Amino acid sequence: MPLDLSLYLVTDPELCARHGLVETVVAAVRGGVTVVQLRDKRASDGEMIDQARRLKAALAGSGVPLIINDRLAVAMESGADGLHMGQDDGDVAAARSALGEEAILGLSVQNHTQLAHIDPVALDYLGFGPVFATSTKRDHATPLGFDGLAALVAASPLPAVAIGGLKAEHARQVWGAGAKGPAVVSAICGQPDPEAAARAFFDD
């Protein structure tokens, strides 16, 4: 199935605890989320494999892929659809050969220097950010703004999502900058109604 990056949900263990991880993700998918990334910096691999298996079961039949943040072993053992790597999360080509051709493989890119060094053959998509400063990720890079985002997208050989401080009212500017879609944590996770929060990205 072609990868639809229109609205990319990244989970956060604390924020998703409000309604429960699986409940939050299922509601967000009802609201229009097209990709789910399981991100938990503190869980053990075993805990994350368990979470990923529960999410995979909940997403069955939805066509929405499940991508694992950072951890190749979890992606491989859990039956997830792919892996999202940061700049310090190891070798992209090695991850591609371990995961196989069918897996979805993404990489976070913060600037043009990093973009110049990507391996476009091994990767499926990029995540550009942060667009804005955000408290959801500690020690994030300098914010790009929409002009910085547009410049990265213009130079990118791969489709990209934009991340960092994005709310529903920014969706048009994200698409306008040429990104395939916004990637969000707090605009959906932890909201009173995650389904409505996701749907709001598609409202005018």
171 binding ligand TZP? (CB under 6 A): no
Q: In angstroms, rounded to a whole number, what is the distance separating the alpha carbons of residues 196 and 33?
A: 11
42 is catalytic: no
129 near ligand TZP (CB under 6 A): yes
41 belongs to an annotated ligand binding site: yes
Site size toward ligand TZP, by CB under 6 A: 15
3-state helix, strand, coil in the chain (%, to 5): 40, 15, 45
Selected binder of ligand TZP within 6, 114, 173, 186 (CB under 6 A): 186
Compute how many residues bind Mg ion; rule: CB under 5 A. Answer: 3
* In contact, 180 and 160? CB cutoff 8 Å: yes
194 binding ligand TZP? (CB under 6 A): no
* Residue 86 interacts with, from ligand TZP, Mg ion, none (CB under 5-8 Å by kind): Mg ion
Residues 6+ apart with CB under 8 A from 57: none
Report the residue from 32, 89, 143, 196 that binds Mg ion according to the rule CB under 5 A. 89
Cα–Cα distance, 182 to 167 (Å, whole number)? 8
Q: Is 39 a catalytic residue?
A: yes
Chain position whose Cβ is nearest to Mg ion: 86
Instruction: Count CB neighbours of 45 within 10 A.
Output: 12
**Dihedral (Cα; 33, 36, 40, 46), 10-degree rounding:** 140
Select 31 or 127, whichever has its Cβ closest to Mg ion: 127
According to DSSP, residue 139 is labeled T
- The catalytic position among 71, 78, 108, 180 is 108
- The alpha carbons of the chain give a radius of gyration, in whole angstroms, of 16
Sole binder of Mg ion in the list 12, 40, 70, 81 (CB under 5 A): 70
DSSP line for 64-93: --EEEES-HHHHHHHT-SEEEE-TTS--HH
Q: Residue 120, interface with Mg ion (CB under 5 A)?
A: no
Element (H, E) at 51: helix 45-59
- Partner that binds at residue 10, options Mg ion, ligand TZP, none, CB closer than 5 to 8 Å by kind: ligand TZP
78, 137, 156, 180: the active-site residue: 137
114 is in an annotated binding site: no
Active-site residue, 108 included: yes
Give the active site residues.
39, 108, 137
- Residues lying near Mg ion in the complex (CB under 5 A) are found at 70, 86, 89
